[in-house]
Amino acid sequence: MKRRLGRSGIEVSAMGLGCWAIGGELWEGTSAVGWGNVDDEVSVAAIREGIALGINFIDTADNYGAGHSERVVGKALKGLRDRVILATKFGNTFDETNRQLTGSDSSPKYALRECEASLKRLGTDYIDLYFFHLNDCPPEQAPAVREALEKLVRQGKIRYYGWSTDHADRAAVFAEGEHCAAIEHDENLFVDNPAVLQVCVEKDLASVNRAPLAMGILTGKYGARTAIRENDVRGSHSPPWLRYFQNGAPSPLFMRKLESVKDLLRSNGRSLSQGCLAWIWARSPLTVPIPGFRNAQQVAENARAMEYGPLSPQEIDEIGRILSGGG
């Protein structure tokens, strides 16, 4: 199952691997913004399992684990780099020594410098898709960043670029760039973004979907009494902006919504997570979800969703009717 990466014309697997979780610990002051302890060998094996199963799109960021995720991805891709489309991000500043986010930088100078750092950590000489990572950066600052990215394209250090933003006005600014190919945004059963999807339609961009499984809620593995470690972004030290978990527990509203449609999502033998990925594929032909993972078993289960394909229009309509209160 394949999808086109916007106007780049690059063909990618219909889902990718989201590599935030494998970065491990990361903090912003006393708030956890990483996913706790990780085993790098398990992470490497999971990435290689995904590639073996036909997943050729990998998404990470320079700040995931304060550079650690990029290093792990680079290790996993040794000897395999030409088999994957590799995306990473820039814009957040961090201290690698103490795993702390320290702020943000939207200057063109920083974009150029941080690209070099990412290339080194990833062990590659080019990035296929380079995302600006500052969701709320003022639109008036974006053209200068976009031009810096066009410079990186001319230098051969990146092939295409995009913006990781949930705001349609910001997406539209980047879409004016010749080598803009994608917008990354939250998209899942609970959080739809028709405005950004419309920009993607109008500008021929891919919709790369972060949090497609709502940070784990849509796997069905988390309940109100699930114990989550304090150094996990979903735990008791979660940041105030996190919508899916608060105080170490999943959102009660989202849990109620999931309960109302979980049988429909499991149609035709799918697991719950496979059904939620199928919902995203049915939402738009432009979508490319990038579920996170911790091990090869999770990657394999998600990859099998591609064997089933999108939900049917009838299933989508029924789920929509129930979630809107008509069920």
Nearest to 67 by CA among 88, 39, 82: 88
Token digits for 298? 């999770």
Query: Do residues 288 and 207 make contact, with C-beta atoms less than 8 angstroms apart?
Result: yes
Q: What pLDDT sits at residue 247? A: 86
Contact at 8 Å (CB) between 228 and 245? yes
| pLDDT, mean of each 10-residue run, the chain (327 residues) | 96 98 96 95 98 98 98 98 98 97 97 97 98 97 98 98 98 97 98 98 98 96 86 92 91 95 95 98 98 97 97 96 80
Backbone angles phi, psi at 19, to 5 degrees: -110, 25
Q: CA of 140: how far to CAs of 103, 145, 180, 222, in Å?
A: 20, 10, 17, 41
Residue with tokens 């708030």: 31
Domains and CATH numbers, the chain: 2-326 (3.20.20.100)
The two tokens of residue 140 are: 């008036």
Sign of torsion, CA 34 36 37 39?
A: negative
85 - beta bridge partners? 57
> What pTM, to 2 d.p., does this model score?
0.96
Amino acid at 270: R
Q: Which of 156, 262, 152 is nearest to 217 (CA)?
A: 262
pLDDT, position 327 = 52
Q: Which residues pair with 27 in a beta bridge?
A: 32, 100
**What angle do helix axes 142-154 and 168-175 make, rounded to 10 degrees?**
40
85-90 and 57-59 strand pairing: parallel
Q: Which residues on adjacent β-strands are paired with residue 307? A: none
Tokens found for residue 216: 């784990």
For residue 126, the cross-strand partners are: none
Structure tokens at 73: 């991805």
Give the whole-angstrom CA distance, residue 110 versus residue 65.
19
Phi-psi region of 295 (alpha: psi -120 to 50; beta: other; left: phi over 0): beta
